[in-house]
Structure 1
């Protein structure tokens, strides 16, 4: 059995409270009805002519009998009428067992029917005013028990049929009506959960719930149809077996639902059920009810364990599921206790059975389980759909990026092919012409230094353009290529490079045009040093924000705006080139040298860069 004494105490107190409330409410209690006569006192006759009668008080119960012969009890009372009614009257028996014959003033108004038991069904017998007379009218009620059991009769009503018929219909609805409705629901749920289990054999919850509903169909058929199934022994075995199997399968369903290990009570219950059925089939008839009593207590114990198990592991269920299941199972246990009391007590309280309401609670549990699983499935479907939509959106974004990269690569490939064509044309065309001219000067011993310098400058400028076209990613690589091409020029003028290339300058997007503007600024600054500074060292420094060209020659006054014919006219071009690429050209000059900086953002402190 499941441990946890707090759960046992809580469930016991809760079920005790429900039982006390049920006892206080007394479902089906009979009360006087305005406009009718409620008969509480009758006479029990020793014979059909009622010459010897004993006063009795209703409700009236007989002891259990097990004889094969029908048990017949005659009861009579007198109804005094001051005047003969002018409308149809009736005798209403809310609760009786098993069958009845009713006579008024000797006239038969209701006769017993074969193969019918009224232990769970009321009776309304209509009486014509012609059968009544002014004064005392003799009402005779004969109770008939055709099978072993006991007879009972509760309070009797006499009055207009239109007043008593609504009460009769309500009683029919609460008894056979609810039973037949529950029977229909149990058949549907048995088929439904059975089909689910066939499709999903690994889900044992559906199997146990289907078997639970199938067990309920047996005793609901007994409650709703009032038709005996074979001898009393078979009828009793079917009733007890179906109730016991219902409790066992419900426990198995809860165990699977809560995912707890198998309980030894399940084996004990199944063993006692099998043993009890064998004993009830073999024992003499008068001992059959005694043999069934331990099974009734076992049913109560199994139902109690089911409720305790549910309460102890309530954290494994959603709050709404736990509340519905706990209320339904605790009410089922309360109705089972009511059935046990009716079994054991000689005069049980109330006039209506409650056991047949248990399958309605099972219907609630089953439908709630279906609805909750549907809601969870829809929620999971919505979450999965949302996740798939997110994944599709992500994949679509990646595909768009991939297509964009592919298109960009194709464009870059086309651009690169065009660049290669231009580079080849420049190299083989203009470059070849310049080299041929320089070779012509050399071969013909033409010593025109101005022309030679101009040709060398043109060749370096062409090389710079080709370098910018060929390398459009790394600015430091471009500066390195520029250094290589200028090394010969610096050697002829007694200059050397102090190369301090640090971080790659981050000037935004690199493209040939942008790199060419920066390279021309650097080339112009170096050319000015070679031509005008009289320096010995040129320092090239880079960081992430700037490129700095420094020399140790004689400086000049950068505040003076040079005229176009000034040797410093190139500074104006450098400024314009810097503005085109969104940079700032900074020039500092003194007697110790000049520093030209190309800055895109505010330069770092002076201490961070070499002077």
Structure 2
């Protein structure tokens, strides 16, 4: 057996034990007393338990207010008769009197003349009375108490405790008359009577009040409060229909039990509508419990649901106040309706429980245990409403509602905790999968980093090899061939070798981190080229000004800039016969301009480009690779070379550098 199933089984056994013990606690006086010679049974604590009385029934045509005084000798009727308490008057569904009498006034006479004098005020305790009418109590003919409100909701379920004499050491009445009005076709019930002092009767009254009124009210109120919480949960999780059904069931259960503890003249609606709500809430409660169970075992019965809804709607419409002429009064029809609904409820519960057990639903046993006792308690209350059992008994349906509250709360609690456990398991699984995924991503990242590093090293190696091949290699090959042919002097060979050294130094400088600082890069170039410029007898003017940082400047781009400037200086020294070289910088719009001017012989720029001068073409090609541009302005007074470097370079320029 699964742990959840064992838990449900243990809970159901405890509920079964509680339900078996409950009738013993709440039905201590459910049997009728046998006739005896004495009508008062004295108790050890001084209280008197009265189990016999005299009854006089007087027919009438309607309700009447109790008189201020009532003497037993002045009452009309055919005479008093001795009865045993508790006493029930059966329902007369078929009239037995042809006089047209609709109501009956029952007078119960209790003789207290034989009681010993008491130093304490004496009270009368009536555990239960039930009637469609009112009750009034007289002591020695004087009205001591009368019920208020409507004849239907008249506090019938509240025990009665009232003083017989106002103060101590005053004589208590020798005779008590209790007047009970009732409809002839409704019947009535009257329990045994207790007479004694406050200490002897108050605990009995409090216990009866607790069992009949307070516990049912607290149970239904707690049910409704938890239902309101479930409704709040449903508002956040509207796909969880169980919480909405739980709330609806709690609300209907509260309405269903409301008539057990309300009464007097304080109901805000009429008796007819209040009774209709009581009947309708019972019918809808059965339907919603069916939907709740169906939602649990997930085996819907379409025919049963449609039949239950149709029957409920038909009964609701048929019992609407003033909507039906065949029902004399709904509160007369209610006891019979409750008995008629019972087989339908048994059928609905049996079908759902069979499906729950067949689906091996752990909560099925728990609901099955509650159903057995709920049917038993409801049947018992049906008998009590129809005066077929002792009126001194306690209504047990409210306790079935309390049991429903605990059962459904336990089911939702299990679902709630199971959902949390499932979320915990899912979170744990997700954490494990996330950890494994992170490990895989870490390994992939390390592999990609290694591949990227290898690619960068390979690209840098190819760049250096290509640059050394095109620059240093080409110069060395030319020098070797010239030496072999003997066409170059030692000075010329020295100049070629110095140029090769400059190329090599520029390659090495381009590998250093310049931190996007163009001025640092130009200063490095000045340091490398200044000796060669001075040895050629050319003056160098350095007019470099601060310029913005070029964020894209890195070794690849730096080498292109160095090569462009080097080529420009080499052209000046080789071809122009200049005596001065000026290097300057400036910032214009979104570009940085590096300008190199000389005072040598100028040249025709267009003609040089058209002839395909290698030096000029290389400068243009390298500038294009870094997203820059070059231009020349040449005349008789000298030549001005300008390298325009963008402040922000586009992505295409990066690709051009990689492809260079």
Q: Is 1:212–1:249's contact at 8 Å kept on the other side of the alignment?
A: yes
Q: Is 1:62–1:150's contact at 8 Å kept on the other side of the alignment?
A: yes
TM (norm. structure 2) is 0.54
1:34 to partner: Cα distance: 4.5
Q: 2:296 aligns with which of 232, 245, 257?
A: 257
The equivalent of 2:145 in structure 1 is 110
Q: 1:394 aligns with which of 436, 461, 464?
A: 436
Q: 2:276 aligns with which of 237, 248, 263?
A: 237
Matched, 1:123 2:165: no
Give the 3 Å change call, closer, same or farther, for CA 406–296 of structure 1 in structure 2: same
Partner Cα distance (1:246, 1:85) in 2: 52
The equivalent of 2:72 in structure 1 is 50
Q: Secondary structure of the residue that 1:225 maps to in structure 2?
A: coil
Alignment of 1:393-432 (within 5 A): 393-409=435-451
The equivalent of 2:50 in structure 1 is 39
The alignment of Structure 1 onto Structure 2 pairs a total of residues equal to 424
Give the 3 Å change call, closer, same or farther, for CA 154–395 of structure 1 in structure 2: same
Q: Secondary structure of the residue that 2:112 maps to in structure 1?
A: strand
Matched, 1:158 2:195: yes
Q: Secondary structure of the residue that 1:30 maps to in structure 2?
A: coil
Partner Cα distance (2:44, 2:57) in 1: 33
Give the 3 Å change call, closer, same or farther, for CA 349–86 of structure 1 in structure 2: closer
Matched, 1:358 2:391: no
Matched, 1:368 2:410: yes
Q: Is 1:93–1:156's contact at 8 Å kept on the other side of the alignment?
A: yes
Q: Is 1:92–1:158's contact at 8 Å kept on the other side of the alignment?
A: yes
The equivalent of 1:28 in structure 2 is 27
Q: Give RMSD over aligned pairs.
A: 4.6
Q: Is 1:276–1:292's contact at 8 Å kept on the other side of the alignment?
A: no
The equivalent of 1:511 in structure 2 is none
Partner Cα distance (1:106, 1:184) in 2: 42
Q: 2:376 aligns with which of 328, 334, 349?
A: 334
Partner Cα distance (2:338, 2:56) in 1: 37
Give the 3 Å change call, closer, same or farther, for CA 131–360 of structure 1 in structure 2: same
Q: 2:287 aligns with which of 245, 248, 268?
A: 248
Give the 3 Å change call, closer, same or farther, for CA 212–136 of structure 1 in structure 2: closer
Unaligned runs of 5+ in 2: 1-12, 31-40, 59-69, 74-78, 94-99, 467-660
Matched, 1:215 2:242: no
Q: Secondary structure of the residue that 1:173 maps to in structure 2?
A: helix
1:94 to partner: Cα distance: 0.8
Q: Secondary structure of the residue that 1:38 maps to in structure 2?
A: strand
Q: Secondary structure of the residue that 2:174 maps to in structure 1?
A: strand
Give the 3 Å change call, closer, same or farther, for CA 23–350 of structure 1 in structure 2: farther
TM (norm. structure 1) is 0.58
The equivalent of 1:167 in structure 2 is 204
1:379 to partner: Cα distance: 0.7
Give the 3 Å change call, closer, same or farther, for CA 139–294 of structure 1 in structure 2: closer
Give the 3 Å change call, closer, same or farther, for CA 225–68 of structure 1 in structure 2: farther
Q: Is 2:55–2:106's contact at 8 Å kept on the other side of the alignment?
A: yes
Give the 3 Å change call, closer, same or farther, for CA 270–287 of structure 1 in structure 2: same
Q: Is 2:88–2:187's contact at 8 Å kept on the other side of the alignment?
A: yes
Q: Is 1:104–1:131's contact at 8 Å kept on the other side of the alignment?
A: no
The equivalent of 2:128 in structure 1 is 95
Partner Cα distance (1:287, 1:418) in 2: 100
1:225 to partner: Cα distance: 0.8
Q: Is 2:130–2:156's contact at 8 Å kept on the other side of the alignment?
A: yes
Partner Cα distance (1:105, 1:54) in 2: 19
Give the 3 Å change call, closer, same or farther, for CA 409–197 of structure 1 in structure 2: closer
The equivalent of 1:466 in structure 2 is none
